[in-house]
Amino acid sequence: MQTSEILCVGEVLWDSLPTGLFLGGAPFNVACHLRASGLPATIVSRVGADRLGEEVLERAARYGVGTDLVQVDPVLPTGFVKVALDAAGNAKYEILEPVAWDAIALDDALLRRASEARAIVFGCLAQRNAITRGTLERLWETEALRVFDVNLRPPYDDAAIVRRSLAHADIVKINDHELAQLAAWFGGRSGLRDAAADVAETFGCRMVCVTRGGSGAALWRDGRWTEHPGYRVEVQDTVGAGDAFLAAFLAGLIAGEEDRALLQHANLIGAYVATQPGAVPAYEQAMIAHILAAPPPEPTAPAPAGVTQSP
């Protein structure tokens, strides 16, 4: 019998930003934002037997994220990433290796929890090593909803890994640049709507959600294409904004929200996180309400025929 638990599988690491060290990694960030949305979330990862690993477990517990499926590696260190920000707040990453999350092992406890989970969230970065990749492939065999958060991170943007992941995904979250890369790899059409439809139809995905940075997001679902223009904010850094978007999107999906509402709330939370330092800031409801009340950005072009744009 499925539980309400969502497992976020993959990297947990420290982002070294100009303003200091921030705990992150896309699966960890998604788990934290799921908890902020009121959903039970557990991080499935591996840390080193070091001080940074101990701090991961302590911080995760403070966020309310389950940590009992975090393994401790006796040799490999806790993950660490050097992050550089450009003038617009966009991040560039130097991801060190090898680290503990490259070696997430499959065991009976993890397989049982995955078989009972509501959903499994995963990306392709953690699949750069055969050990973690093999563990994820076994988890795909369960009945949980499989959510692929693409997150291409050169030089770990492997087309074969992405293809296998898409073939096992129910829901895909991807940004517009990554979607163009998939079209180039797999022979899809150009244009967001056609490219998203091609991914859904080629790989049998139920939904393809495309984020567009400051231009909002769009969703392909059962032949419907819905867009939201996003929110106008002053960006401090974009680290974690996409992860917050995905968590809010999943929370709305589980709550049964229709497509317009899904995109509106996910864009709102993603925009808020972009105004804050680090990937998992505390939610300031007054600031979120201020963003929601601001005039929407001007559309860059008229929506094509058949496109639904939410307010």
- Quick check: helix, strand or coil at residue 199? helix
CA 165 – CA 154 distance, rounded (Å):
17
CB atoms within 10 A of CB 286: 6
List the chain domain ranges: 6-301
Half-sphere exposure of 10 (CA within 13 A, CB side): 25
Residue 72, burial from CB neighbour count under 10 angstroms (0-12, 13-18, 19+): middle
Between 17 and 158, where is the model more confident?
A: 158
Reported as a single tens digit per residue, the pLDDT across 25-74 is: 999 999 999 999 999 999 999 999 999 999 999 999 999 999 999 999 99
Rounded CA Rg of the chain: 18
* CA neighbor of 11 nearest in space, from 23, 3, 19, 2: 23
CA distances to 18, 57, 210, 251, 303 from 289, rounded to whole Å, are: 29, 32, 24, 19, 27
Residue 307: band (very low, low, confident or very high) from pLDDT cuts 50, 70, 90? very low
Per-residue pLDDT at 1: 55
User: Tokens 């400051």, residue?
Assistant: 214
Half-sphere exposure of 213 (CA within 13 A, CB side): 12
Query: Residue 94 above 50 pLDDT?
Result: yes
Residue 163, burial from CB neighbour count under 10 angstroms (0-12, 13-18, 19+): middle
Which two structure tokens, joined as six digits, stand for 57? 């477990």
Instruction: Order across the sheet with 20-24: list the strands.
Output: 20-24, 13-17, 79-85, 91-95
Per-residue pLDDT at 309: 38
Q: Find residue 209's DSSP bridge partners.
A: 173, 219
Backbone φ and ψ for 78, nearest 5 degrees, come out as: -65, 145
Between 10 and 18, where is the model more confident?
A: 10
Q: What would the CATH number be for the domain defined by 6-301?
A: 3.40.1190.20
Reported as a single tens digit per residue, the pLDDT across 169-190 is: 999 999 999 999 999 999 999 9
CA 32 – CA 35 distance, rounded (Å):
5
Residue 4: band (very low, low, confident or very high) from pLDDT cuts 50, 70, 90? very high
Reported as a single tens digit per residue, the pLDDT across 201-247 is: 999 999 999 999 989 999 999 999 999 999 999 998 888 999 999 99
User: Tokens 């070091």, residue?
Assistant: 50
CA distances to 94, 130, 150, 187 from 153, rounded to whole Å, are: 9, 17, 9, 21
9 and 67 Cβ atoms separated by less than 8 Å = no
